[in-house]
Chain A
Amino acid sequence: MMLQIQNLTKDFGSLRAVDGVSFSVDKGEVLGFLGPNGAGKSTTMKMATGFLAPTSGTASVCGHDIQTDPLAAKKCLGYLPEGAPAYPDMTPESFLEFIADIRGLTGSTRAQRIQDVIRKVHIEGVMHQRIETLSKGFKRRVGLAQAILHDPPVLIMDEPTDGLDPNQKHEVRLLIKSMAQDKAIVLSTHILEEVEAVCTRAIIIARGKVLFDGAPAELTAQGRIDEVFRRITTGDRIAAA
């Protein structure tokens, strides 16, 4: 298993944001993380990537526990945080060079990887513009470029298509699909069609708990996907296959 999440729980004060979430993702899988706002999607991702320490439970990336062996785990991991944060006073070029240095890429591999991701996310035209001047769509793509720069075996993306126009969304989905064969991918989204379009598996989470874990086809089999989603997240737990 490339990514293994076991019983992750996170309390903020008296609020339990994530409540015993477990799942694992293998190579070739694209896991769609679905849920209403405040369901605990981002918090789960923040724990899986080592940004937040869980109250209890464990997460491991490529066999490395994110708490006890964070550096090894983080090396195997590409992460696009919510909102695709990047240093606003840098250009995409200097930003990607910085990430490449931190990732330990050197020499021709470094140049090659940077050129590769620039082409993949189509940011050739804005490489010398400051990131703060970029549109939301370009910012998102710079964030995406950063996450896949070191060709990580595990890729976690928090709302990768948020703020993109329909064409850009389509492109990002194609990109995700093209990487799916040799990576374990987790992405969170509000967009239900996205799950049908790119994911091999879907997890629905609400109030910190996993309410559904299965193939997107199982969801659509029960009716229109948005209605099924509403039914699940507003109370009635359905039998997960």
Chain B
Amino acid sequence: MRNIVTIAKRELGGYFSTPVAYVFIVVYLLLAMGLTLFITRFYEREQADLLAFFTWHPWVYLFLVPAVTMRLWAEERRQGTIELLFTLPVTLAESVVGKFLASWAFTGIALALTFPIWITVNYLGKPDNGVILSSYVGSFLMAGAYLAIGSFVSACTKNQVIAFVVSAVLCLIFVLAGLPGVMDVLSALPDVVLQTMRSFSFLTHFESIQTGVIDLRDITYFLSLIATCLVVNAIVLDMKKAS
């Protein structure tokens, strides 16, 4: 546990010691707010909720989260520090979990910095803050799933660009699987397949949490997806450490 914290602290410090962290946070906030205010027309809707804000999260994460995770393991390989890390008295699991938690904490910080929109909606009306809180929890959990996928992909390569593109595509599949338009196109498929696809989609579970009900099934979905990705992440690292 101590080692996980040490590794996470180092990794998180790594984000903030370069401009990457600040660029990411600024772009994330501009994008999230811009889309909310100008595309989904937050003010014109005159609704005291943050639906117009959270709707965008799966799409914003789609290309910002891979930017957070692309360096996670690829850089460790390229710099050769992976050899240092794995000859220190830490377990593989501690390294994988520590690094993942750092990226999750970082994304959490960015997400928390969207608080002005919460203040705004409370100033303008009487929103259901329970729904907003559960949407934030859902968004954070969903970010974790994106990050876990990105972390696993980053472990497969030493090239950050490849890591970015492949994780973005993988995450896109997880988003599209639940998108109504995509489901319509695939409607010729047997119902079981469609149901399964939909149940694997980020959208299905995120939308369900956004209704204000934190269902154990949705939490289980995100957490088990994270766990699975991290296990595969560790296996990949163990198999191809040297290359």
Q: Which A residues fall within an 8 A CB radius of B?
A: 46, 49-52, 70-71, 74-75, 77, 79, 81-83, 85-90, 94, 98-99, 101-104, 130, 146
* CB-defined A-B contacts under 8 Å, sample of 30: A46-B83, A50-B86, A50-B87, A51-B241, A71-B90, A71-B91, A74-B89, A75-B89, A79-B84, A81-B87, A83-B80, A85-B79, A85-B80, A85-B84, A87-B10, A87-B81, A88-B79, A90-B13, A90-B14, A90-B17, A94-B10, A94-B13, A98-B10, A102-B89, A102-B90, A103-B88, A103-B89, A104-B2, A104-B89, A146-B84
Q: A216 → chain B, closest Cβ, in Å?
A: 27
Beta-carbon contact of B3 and A102 below 8 Å: yes
Identify the 6 closest CB pairs spanning chains A and B, nearest first: A85-B80, A74-B89, A81-B83, A101-B6, A49-B87, A85-B81
Interface residues of B in 224-243 (CB under 8 A from A): 241-242
* Chain B residues whose CB sits within 8 angstroms of the CB of A49 once the complex forms: 87
Report how far A77 CA is from B87 CA in the complex, Å.
Answer: 8
* Chain B residues whose CB sits within 8 angstroms of the CB of A98 once the complex forms: 6, 10
Beta-carbon contact of A81 and B84 below 8 Å: yes
Nearest A-chain residue to B79, judged by Cβ:
A85
A51 with B88: in contact, given A89-B17, A89-B18, A90-B14 (CB under 8 Å)? no
Nearest A-chain residue to B6, judged by Cβ:
A101
* Chain A residues whose CB sits within 8 angstroms of the CB of B79 once the complex forms: 85, 87-88
Nearest B-chain residue to A99, judged by Cβ:
B88
Q: B71 → chain A, closest Cβ, in Å?
A: 10
Report how far A50 CA is from B88 CA in the complex, Å.
Answer: 9
Q: B19 → chain A, closest Cβ, in Å?
A: 11
Q: A149 → chain B, closest Cβ, in Å?
A: 11
* Chain A residues whose CB sits within 8 angstroms of the CB of B81 once the complex forms: 85-87
| Interface residue range, chain B | 20 to 34
Nearest B-chain residue to A77, judged by Cβ:
B87
* Chain A residues whose CB sits within 8 angstroms of the CB of B10 once the complex forms: 87, 90, 94, 98
* Chain B residues whose CB sits within 8 angstroms of the CB of A52 once the complex forms: 241-242
Having A99-B88, A102-B7, one finds 7 other A-B pairs with CB under 8 Å, namely A50-B86, A74-B87, A87-B10, A89-B18, A90-B14, A90-B17, A146-B84
* Chain B residues whose CB sits within 8 angstroms of the CB of A86 once the complex forms: 81, 84
* Chain A residues whose CB sits within 8 angstroms of the CB of B89 once the complex forms: 70-71, 74-75, 102-104
Report how far A86 CA is from B14 CA in the complex, Å.
Answer: 12
Report how far A50 CA is from B89 CA in the complex, Å.
Answer: 10
Report how far A83 CA is from B90 CA in the complex, Å.
Answer: 21
* Chain A residues whose CB sits within 8 angstroms of the CB of B13 once the complex forms: 90, 94
Interface residues of B in 1-39 (CB under 8 A from A): 2-3, 6-7, 10, 13-14, 17-18
* Chain A residues whose CB sits within 8 angstroms of the CB of B91 once the complex forms: 71
Write out, one digit per residue, whether chain B residues 75-107 have a CB within 8 A of any chain A CB (1) or not (0): 000011101101111110000000000000000
Nearest B-chain residue to A76, judged by Cβ:
B89
Report how far A198 CA is from B18 CA in the complex, Å.
Answer: 41
Report how far A99 CA is from B13 CA in the complex, Å.
Answer: 14
Q: A132 → chain B, closest Cβ, in Å?
A: 9
